[in-house]
């Protein structure tokens, strides 16, 4: 009888201390805090990058031209802009001397 009581006590006490106390919750919250701090650092880095890009777009003509060319698809007067996205087959030049 005493052995069963000691065994139950040794099983219940760690369970009570870990699961029912705030220790398990504290460990979960520490994990969450670490994940949030990591995400916060990533977002801070992204914010800094976007701030530098915005400042460049306010003052740097080359940055403005790069955005106009790459993201908007604009070109200079007299240039021909070819949009090759969406082609299914690669473009190949005909072989000299061969007729199709």
Residues 44-99 have pLDDT tens digits of 999 999 999 999 999 998 988 888 888 877 777 888 777 777 666 665 666 666 55
Q: What band does 16 get if pLDDT is binned at 50, 70 and 90?
A: low
Q: 96 near 89, Cβ under 8 Å?
A: no
43 versus 5: the higher-pLDDT residue is 43
pLDDT at 17: 66
Q: 17 near 23, Cβ under 8 Å?
A: yes
**CA–CA dist 60, 66 (Å, integer):** 10
Note the helical H segments in 1-100.
2-15, 23-59, 61-67
Looking at residues 30-56, what average pLDDT do you find?
Answer: 96
């Amino acid at each position: 009888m005493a052995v069963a009581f000691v065994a139950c006590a040794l099983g219940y006490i760690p369970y009570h201390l870990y699961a029912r106390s705030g220790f398990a919750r504290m460990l979960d919250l520490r994990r969450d805090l670490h994940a949030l701090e990591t995400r916060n650092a990533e977002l801070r880095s992204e914010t800094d990058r976007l701030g530098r890009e915005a400042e460049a777009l306010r003052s740097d003509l080359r940055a403005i031209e790069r955005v106009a060319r790459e993201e908007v698809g604009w070109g200079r007067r007299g240039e021909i802009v070819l949009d090759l996205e969406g082609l299914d087959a690669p473009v190949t030049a005909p072989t000299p001397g061969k007729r199709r």
